[in-house]
């Protein structure tokens, strides 16, 4: 199954929360499905859920965004981020609310208008996992 994509570029400013800003963008523009293509920027503070850890971890900056990836849906984002500190140590995890932009976050999204992303609790994982629906059949 193939889907066309369009891109959407945005710049977040100092003080913006990455997760909240992307969630609001998806909701306000009524976008059915998107994913992060690229992100470059910096954070004054990061809030992550580390692997195997149920709670959040706060890392104070300045921090460089090394990578941001994930899916965005009207039911919420699933985003992972890798950040580097001032000596180049890299840490990554599940992006939570509270990742605050220091100078900029330049983000490019792929928007898939024929696809619908939603989330449904998966009994096997215990989490609300991605459900992909394609209401429009497209042939290559």
Condensed to tens digits (0 to 9), the pLDDT of residues 10-22 reads: 999 999 999 999 9
Peptide bond into 77 cis (omega under 30): no
Residues 72-121 pLDDT 10s? 999 889 999 999 999 999 999 999 999 999 999 999 999 998 888 988 99
Alpha helix (H) residue ranges in 6-119 = 18-28
- Burial environment of residue 79 by CB neighbours within 10 A (0 to 12, 13 to 18, 19 or more): buried
Token digits of residue 138: 């497209």
In this prediction the pTM is: 0.87
Q: What is the largest CA-CA distance in the chain?
A: 49
Domain boundaries, the chain: 6-133
The helix (H) or strand (E) run that includes residue 42 is: strand 34-49
Report yes or no: 58 and 46 within 8 Å, Cβ to Cβ: yes
CATH of 6-133, one of 3.40.50.20, 3.60.150.10, 3.30.1330.80, 3.30.1490.190: 3.30.1330.80
Token digits of residue 4: 């066309």
Fill in the DSSP letter of residue 96: -
């Amino acid at each position: 199954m193939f889907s066309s994509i369009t891109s959407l570029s945005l710049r977040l400013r100092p003080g913006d929360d990455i997760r909240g800003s992307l969630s609001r963008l998806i909701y306000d523009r009524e976008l059915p499905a998107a994913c992060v293509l690229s992100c470059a920027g910096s954070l004054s503070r990061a809030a992550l859920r580390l692997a195997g850890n149920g709670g959040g971890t706060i890392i104070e900056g300045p921090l460089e965004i090394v990578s941001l990836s994930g899916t965005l849906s009207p039911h919420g984002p699933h985003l992972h981020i890798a950040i580097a500190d001032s000596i180049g140590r890299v840490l990554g995890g599940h992006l939570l609310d509270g990742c605050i932009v220091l100078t900029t976050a330049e983000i490019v999204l792929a928007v898939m208008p024929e696809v619908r992303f939603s989330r449904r609790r998966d009994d096997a994982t215990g989490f609300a996992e991605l459900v992909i629906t394609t209401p429009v059949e497209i042939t290559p």
